[in-house]
A and B are shown apart, each in its own frame.
Chain A
Amino acid sequence: MSILTINNLKVHYPIRGGLFRRKIDVVRAVDGLSLELQRGETYGLVGESGSGKSTTGRSIIGLEEITEGEITFEGQNLSELRYRDRKEYYKDIQMVFQDPYSSLNPKKRVKDLIAEPIRNFENRSKEEELKRVQELLEIVGLSPEVTYKYPHEFSGGQKQRLGVARALALNPKLIIADEPVSALDVSVQAQVLNFMKKIQKDLNLTFIFISHDLGVVRHMCDRIGIMYNGRFVEEGTAEDVYENPQHIYTKRLVAAIPDIDPENRKEQAAFRRQVKEEYKETEHNYFDENGSVFDLKPVTDTHYVALP
């Protein structure tokens, strides 16, 4: 059974204008997105800024007002529930944010930062709470000695571990990581990525990994969805998407990834030029008359492409 199903999700923001700030138009941040997530898999949500990938993530944990569509978690349609009942489900879905520097309150100690979700959802004694915090610190590879430290005493990678420890506090089943390594240096990034892979295996977590970095996504994810203008242009296994991109937008994105081998520079440039030409010539084939992305059509069992 799939752990999470998103059906035709739409998140529209009103644009207000005129003298009385009436709603004159909407921004279609997410515009008809469907997704099915299997337990234990890592799903990569890829797109450039404004593609709606973060909005999708935020909708799942209830941080966005959904205009249309359903989000079903473990068989329960979340949008049908009242706020109070929904809270129970949100325990099982946690989020890790991009910037470890600003997502941790600098005035709180590690103990309080990590215990915060525990206090919100569970009733534990002080000792139990402390024990749980230290357990969590151990899971993320920090020593229990840091319990009483403040965030500024940690390096960027360690802070991101704290962010993950907090996300793990309530034994979630699904973790949504929104650009968790974008603010980090490569060596620190490696550390966090390794460690996320490890806890995913150890705790059998399901991950949604939101990123604009195609290298990172390739490394982390089993399946990948490429978003453009609030819709999927292509979805498939990492291999489908990287080795055999079908949609022109995906091709452009893949072509834009810098190749780490300078020997391939010429071919890479040629490939990029070729894709650019192809984009110019065939772009109109891939979008309908309003410039919107078509619905996904299966190409193979795993590979879906938005084609007319």
Chain B
Amino acid sequence: MKYQLESKEVMSMTENALLSATNVKTSFRIGDDYYAAVDGVTLTVNNNEVVAIVGESGSGKSALAFSILGLHDRFKTNLEGEIYLNGTDLTSVSTGKLNQIRGKDIGMIFQDPLTALNPLKTIGDQIVETLNLHTKLTAKEKYERSIHLLKEVGIPRAENVHQQFPHELSGGMRQRVVIAIAIACDPALLIADEPTTALDATIQSQILDLLNELKEEKDAGIILITHDLGVVAEMADRVAVMYAGQIVELADVFSLFRNPLHPYTRSLLSSVPSVKDEKEMLHVIEGVVPSLPKMPRQGCRFKDRIPWMEDNVHEEHPELREVENGHYVRCTCYKHFYFPEEEEELAHVDTNY
């Protein structure tokens, strides 16, 4: 009942989205039971748009990305819901068809360029492998295309690099190669899973610039998975904040940073040390992200992390509701939320903040 409501809302909002995921529920088998790591996520991505998915480890953000590509081990995973990419439901296509979509319509960029490339194959071979699978180019054309791709991602001396092995390149160069592989067939959707976490700051900004260029040039949609709010602020058009398998807040990037609503979003933002303002102490979110089997399935999942809030501020069945144009929040607790540090300052609890 609840799910149907949500999906209708979203359908009307994004008729012609590039990717539209509806009520995605990804459950992993632990022992004899299945536990949902992604629990009813509805999300759309448009062309020429970066949607950032933010959350800490254990929030389900990577599990969601893997679900889109069907990368989870089928024997240990249960995938429910619908994920439409250009009119094809990725959750119900055959493996063969899925393999045609992977790498061609969806490109994936992984976190660690050190391990994302096969150490025993040349850079060229690894790019050409994608072209072999999805194009009918001749060997010469494939070679030229792969050189072109290496140049496109800003690799100098592409002809040399083409014949080199991954260990001969620096981390930043390897990540460029990973991106070159991901964009080899001009995919409509790019999924970048923490693409800059393993890189130095100056390299990070170069890679982010590159992703931005690709978005513009290829009119691609990008799902950017990250825990780094700075990267989100720089890159994203829209942001989905995930906690315990659910989206707790969804908004365009400006609204989200100007007016963060959900307690989790606000906690995250105030726990980041900033270059700009001098806070003596950072905000610490109480407790830890619950492990999959211990994840609360009833009520507000963030409740345990803000124990100073009274029980009645939470909804019994928290839903993601649109509170402003395009700004969605789950649970009503955001209306009452305050930081314990602020308690003294706030005489009246029910402030509009």
Contacts and interface: CB of A to CB of B under 8 A. Distances in A.
Direct contact of A and B (CB under 8 A): yes
B275 A212 contact: no
Interface in B154-209: 171, 200-205, 208
| Chain A interface residue number, banded | 35 or more
B56 A262 contact: no
A258 B230 contact: yes
A214 B201 contact: yes
Contact of B201 (A185, A190, A191, A253): A253
Contact of A260 (B56, B202, B272, B288): B272
B140 interface: no
Contacts of B236: 262
A254 B208 CA distance: 16
Contact of B274 (A219, A253, A262): A219
B200 A186 contact: no
Interface in A239-263: 242, 252-263
Given A215-B274, A258-B228, A265 B200 contact: no
Contacts of B308: none
Contacts of A255: 205
A272 interface: yes
B230 A215 contact: yes
Nearest to A155: B288
A102 interface: no
A216 interface: yes
Contacts of A272: 205
Contact of B257 (A191, A262, A268): A262
B314 interface: no
B229 to A, nearest CB: 6
| Chain B interface residue number, banded | 35 or more
B16 interface: no
B341 to A, nearest CB: 12
B267 interface: yes
A187 B233 contact: no
Which secondary structure dominates where chain A touches chain B? helix
B57 A185 contact: yes
B258 interface: yes
B200 A48 contact: yes
Interface in A28-66: 48-49
A252 B202 contact: yes
A214 B205 CA distance: 14
B268 interface: yes
A307 interface: no
A272 B209 CA distance: 10
Nearest to A258: B230
A194 B201 contact: no
Interface in B59-74: none
B233 A265 contact: yes
Determine which residue in A190, A212, A258, A268 has the highest number of CB atoms from chain B within 10 A of its CB, and name it: A258
Interface string A186-207: 1111110110010000000000
B253 A262 contact: yes
B8 interface: no
27 contacts: A48-B200, A48-B203, A155-B288, A185-B57, A185-B227, A186-B227, A186-B271, A186-B272, A187-B271, A189-B271, A190-B284, A193-B282, A194-B281, A212-B200, A218-B275, A252-B202, A254-B275, A256-B202, A257-B201, A257-B230, A258-B230, A260-B233, A260-B257, A262-B253, A262-B257, A263-B257, A263-B258
Given A214-B275, A215-B275, A260-B269, 12 more contacts: A48-B201, A186-B272, A187-B56, A188-B288, A190-B283, A190-B284, A194-B281, A218-B274, A219-B282, A257-B275, A258-B231, A259-B230
